[in-house]
Structures are given as structure tokens and as C-alpha cells.
Amino acid sequence: MERTESISIAYSIRFLTPFHFGTGLRVGLIQRSVARNAKDFLYVPGATLKGVLRERCEQIARLFGLEARDPHAQTLEKTLSEAHPNPDIITRIFGSRFQPGQLFFDDAQLEHTQQAWFEPDAHHTNTRRRDEFLAWQTEKRTQVAMSRLFGTAEPGRLYSSEYGMRSLCFVGRISGLLKGFALQPDQPGTYSLLLLSMALQSLDSDFIGGNKSTGAGHIRLEITDLQVDGKPMDSGDLLKDLEYHWVMLEDCHPRAKDE
């Protein structure tokens, strides 16, 4: 039985190493600056997490033999498949070009207690003093572009980058409407929620952001609150009887086609 549920997932991300979420803009002598919000605190872009989660959901779905259509398909046949009346499980969660998703991924903001680390005392009111405190959120690194062909430094390609300091913790939320087939007829939770929760928890001890190949962006991720239709739910309960759920899923979602 298909249903639509209102979900809210709160999570925290703690960085074990320096990290980089670039803006593509230069700031002063820094060629690669990091993303900051209106109050100049660092944040983790919700769009970045959404992209990482979608890719992980596709990987898990294919692992279980489920169909996961390419959102960037170039051929007409594959593009029109996104408009199929029976969308695959990935489309049900994230939407497509023809069926917009109804989940919203907020930017993960710096934890309030840690924001206080980078704010001067109340009696310090001048802007320069606050800028000095905010600068402690980041470290600067001088880097050089490497030639993938020769494995050597490319001449004239020296640049500087900003990295967020390790140990910073960010909190965010995923909320909205989620469509899927019910895990149990008389119980909350759908296969879409199961897959999304699995993908989110699988990011624990993974890497996100830029420069992952050099060790940046190593995280610990924790789901701190999960609510379905306004009622709390234990994310661990979703993983119970996992083998049974995925066997039953064959009747609900199309299987991947052999190439």
C-alpha cells in the first residue's frame, strides 16, 4: 500500500578533519574560500548533503537490484523514463525533472554552543574584534595543482585555500513529504524512509565536501531525531528485519534491468 508521510529528520555532523565547501569566489588573497552564512559562520550546504545522499541511495538501491534511473540521462528514452507513472524509489524520495521532490534539505548550521566560541564578549562591539574571532573558524593552506598525467606540480599553479577547522559540529534537518510503500500496513514508515535512513546513517565515518582524496571532510554523522507524521520514531527500528523488508520490496518497485 502506497502512502505519503510527513517526515522530519534532525542530524548532527562533526568533522574529524579540516573540511572545504567552496563558494567558487576569491576573497582577498584566498583563491578558494569556504561557504559562510549571513552571520559569517561556516555551514554545510543542504544541496551538498542532498547530492551525496542521492548518490548513496542509488548505490544501495542497485546493491539490492532495484532500478535507479540516472537523473542526468542524455538519451530521449532514458529522459522520458523519468515521467513513468510508476517512479522508481529514488524518484519517490528526491524527485526528478518531471516529478519534483517534496523533501527539503536545510543548510546545516554551526551548533549554537560552538558559535559562542567565535563571538567576542558582549562588551566588545567593534567589527574588527568580531572579525578576528570569526577568522578562527578556518585555517589557510597554500597548495599547488598537480599534473594527473605526470604526477608532478604544474608550474605557475600555486593557490591558497580556506578549510574549516576540525572538531566543528553542525546541525541540520531534512523535512517534508515522502511517498513510498508501507513497511507494515498498520505501522508508520515506508521503504522510501528506510532507504533514506540507511543512506544517511551510512555516511557516518565517510567523507564529504572538497579535497576528500587528501583526507578532508572526514565526518561522524548521527541522526538525533526522527519523526513521522509528528510522532517520534526510532531510526534503529527501521533496520530491524531488513532482509524481510527488501525481499518484500520486489513486489513494490521495479528491478534493475540487465544491460
Q: What pLDDT sits at residue 74?
A: 62
CA dist 44 to 48, 97, 179, 185, 188, Å?
7, 25, 26, 37, 30
pLDDT tens-place string over residues 90-144: 888 998 877 788 999 999 999 999 998 888 765 556 667 778 888 899 988 876 6
Q: 92: part of which helix (H) or strand (E)?
A: helix 89-94
Q: What pLDDT sits at residue 127?
A: 63
Q: Mean pLDDT over residues 140-163, rounded?
A: 74
Q: What pLDDT sits at residue 9?
A: 96
Q: What pLDDT sits at residue 108?
A: 97
pLDDT tens-place string over residues 56-70: 999 988 887 777 776
pLDDT tens-place string over residues 192-248: 998 999 999 999 999 999 888 888 999 999 999 999 999 998 877 777 766 666 666
Cα-Cα-Cα-Cα dihedral of 134, 138, 141, 147, to 10°? -130
Residue 71 binned pLDDT confidence (cut-offs 50, 70, 90): low
Task: Kindly tell me if the per-residue pLDDT of 252 is higher than 80.
Answer: no
Strands (E), 64-152: 103-105, 108-110, 138-146
DSSP string, 178-206: EEEEBSSTTSS-BHHHHHHHHHHHHTTT-
Report the length, in residues, of the chain: 259
User: Taking a C-beta distance cutoff of 8 angstroms, is the pair 67, 253 a contact?
Assistant: yes
| Domains, in order of start, for the chain | 2-251 (3.30.70)
> Would the pTM count as exceeding 0.95?
no
Q: Mean pLDDT over residues 5-11, rounded?
A: 95
Residue 259 binned pLDDT confidence (cut-offs 50, 70, 90): very low
71 or 202, greater pLDDT: 202
The alpha carbon of 55 is separated from its chain's Cα centroid by a whole number of angstroms, namely: 10
Q: What pLDDT sits at residue 25?
A: 74
Q: Mean pLDDT over residues 146-162, rounded?
A: 73
